[in-house]
């Protein structure tokens, strides 16, 4: 099976962090009459990005359920930033550097006087930010944004460390161990993919692993060109679960469980209830000794599942023609002002 860039993920992670500037906290800019001091105290971190870039925010949000993060992580997947922000650090992530929503959000952040750091392979985002003296982390390229995930995630982790948001250095290598471990389970991933053929996956995931579930759903969409539904526990237990009483043979329930998820017992009970109505949920148990290792094992393993599914379906996994067509049409109709 063609794993595309997954075998390169350990090297992508290690290479990308070398490009994070050491002097981030000493940056001081004047933009549009506003002084932006990167050494000042911050009270939140906003991760702005879309698709395979934006999922970095989801994963960081997951990790803060396990880490003692000093300030909240706010995930913004929009053309605008949330209105009620006080002293945020904004991390603008765009693999291509040409994501209009992210460029607009970064420009808005600067106009409000917020410190911004870009993570990208180049493009307009790099040009716009660098032209204003804003720090930009340039990362190595992959076959598509979603295949460059470690190169996007690892600089963000280092930035959190540099700004005193979370202590992550001692887990960085464990995250790479998670990738390597997942790559040893390709046969298991293929077996899971076979069970998903001709189904609509219903992905059950705990709140503290929401990012893993979102990434799995996104990879099903983009790699296998497959629709899926994601239900987050415990909220999904108050609505989505009611639908299991209706027999819909095309649905396949997949429950994702981490080894230290505090909602784990809750999800086990939910699985028992789903089973009592005749469904046979597939249980995916994430592996890892640290929160980062478990998180990255999950996105790597489940990503491989979607590549295997694409192969079983005879689908080309890299291209995403509808997304490209949408972007082109949005540009033609001048939806964005960048």
Residues 143 and 242 in one domain: no
Domain ranges, residue 88: 6-167
User: What pTM, to 2 d.p., does this model score?
Assistant: 0.97
Instruction: Identify the domain boundary among 122, 147, 167.
Output: 167
Q: Tell me the pLDDT of the chain (338 aa) as tens digits.
A: 999 999 999 999 999 999 999 999 999 999 989 999 999 999 999 999 999 999 999 999 999 999 999 999 999 999 999 998 999 999 999 999 999 999 999 999 999 999 999 999 999 999 999 999 999 999 999 999 999 999 999 999 999 999 999 999 999 999 999 999 999 999 999 999 999 999 999 999 999 999 999 999 999 999 999 999 999 999 999 999 999 998 778 999 999 999 989 999 999 999 999 999 999 999 999 999 999 999 999 999 999 999 999 999 999 999 999 999 999 999 999 999 77
Residues 11 and 76 in one domain: yes
We report the CATH number of the domain holding residue 60 as 3.40.50.10490
- Residue 254 covered by a domain: yes
Please identify which residue in the block is written with the tokens 């099976």: 1
Helix (H) or strand (E) holding 230: strand 229-233
8 A C-beta contact, residue 182 and residue 301: yes
- Distance of alpha carbon 7 from alpha carbon 12, whole angstroms: 10
Instruction: Identify the domain boundary among 116, 149, 167.
Output: 167
CA distances from 4 to 61, 112, 153 (A): 27, 40, 18
8 A C-beta contact, residue 252 and residue 200: yes
Give helix 100-111 / helix 123-131 axis angle, nearest 10°: 20
Q: What is the secondary structure of 198-240 as a DSSP string?
A: TSEEEEEEEGGGHHHHHHHHHHHHHTS----EEEEETGGGGTG
8 A C-beta contact, residue 79 and residue 108: no
- Residue 270 covered by a domain: yes
**Strands 88-94 vs 44-48: parallel, antiparallel or unpaired:** parallel
- Distance of alpha carbon 324 from alpha carbon 180, whole angstroms: 32
Residues 162 and 223 in one domain: no
pLDDT of residue 196: 98
Give the 3-state secondary structure of residue 267. helix
Write down how long the chain is: 338
Residues 105 and 129 in one domain: yes
- Residue 334 covered by a domain: no
Residues 205 and 94 in one domain: no
- Distance of alpha carbon 191 from alpha carbon 252, whole angstroms: 14
Q: Using DSSP, how many helices (H) and how many strands (E) does the chain show?
A: 11, 11
Residues 42 and 121 in one domain: yes
Residues 138 and 88 in one domain: yes
Residues 155 and 183 in one domain: no
- Residue 330 covered by a domain: no
pLDDT of residue 274: 96
- Distance of alpha carbon 112 from alpha carbon 126, whole angstroms: 19
- Domain total of the chain: 2
- Residue 326 covered by a domain: no
């Amino acid at each position: 099976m063609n794993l595309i860039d997954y075998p390169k993920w350990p090297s992508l992670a290690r290479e990308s962090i070398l490009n994070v500037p050491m002097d981030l906290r000493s940056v001081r800019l004047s933009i549009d009459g506003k002084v932006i001091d990167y050494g000042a105290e911050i009270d939140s971190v906003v991760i702005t990005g879309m698709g395979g870039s934006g999922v970095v925010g989801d994963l960081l949000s997951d990790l803060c359920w396990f880490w003692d993060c000093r300030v909240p992580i706010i995930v913004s997947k929009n053309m605008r930033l949330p209105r009620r922000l006080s002293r945020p650090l904004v991390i603008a992530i765009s693999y291509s550097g040409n994501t209009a929503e992210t460029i607009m959000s970064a420009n808005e952040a600067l106009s409000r006087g917020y410190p911004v750091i870009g993570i990208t392979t180049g493009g307009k985002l790099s040009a716009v930010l660098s032209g204003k003296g804003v720090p930009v982390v340039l990362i190595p390229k992959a076959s598509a944004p979603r295949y460059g995930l470690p190169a996007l995630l690892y600089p963000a982790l280092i930035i959190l460390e540099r700004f005193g948001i979370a202590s992550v250095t001692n887990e960085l290598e464990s995250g790479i161990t998670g990738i390597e471990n997942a790559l040893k389970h390709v046969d298991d991933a293929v077996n899971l993919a076979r069970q998903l053929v001709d189904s609509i996956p219903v992905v059950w995931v705990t709140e503290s692993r929401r990012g893993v579930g979102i990434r799995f759903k996104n990879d099903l969409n983009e790699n296998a060109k497959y629709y899926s539904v994601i239900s987050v526990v415990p909220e999904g237990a108050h609505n989505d679960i009611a639908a299991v009483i209706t027999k819909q043979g095309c649905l396949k329930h997949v429950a994702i469980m981490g080894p230290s998820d505090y909602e784990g017992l809750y999800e086990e009970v939910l699985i028992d209830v789903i089973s009592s109505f005749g469904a046979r949920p597939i249980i995916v148990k994430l592996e890892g000794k640290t929160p980062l290792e478990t998180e990255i094992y999950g996105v790597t393993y489940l990503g491989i599942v979607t590549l295997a599914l694409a192969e079983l379906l005879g689908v080309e996994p890299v291209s995403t023609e509808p997304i490209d067509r949408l972007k082109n049409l949005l540009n033609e109709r001048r939806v964005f002002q960048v």
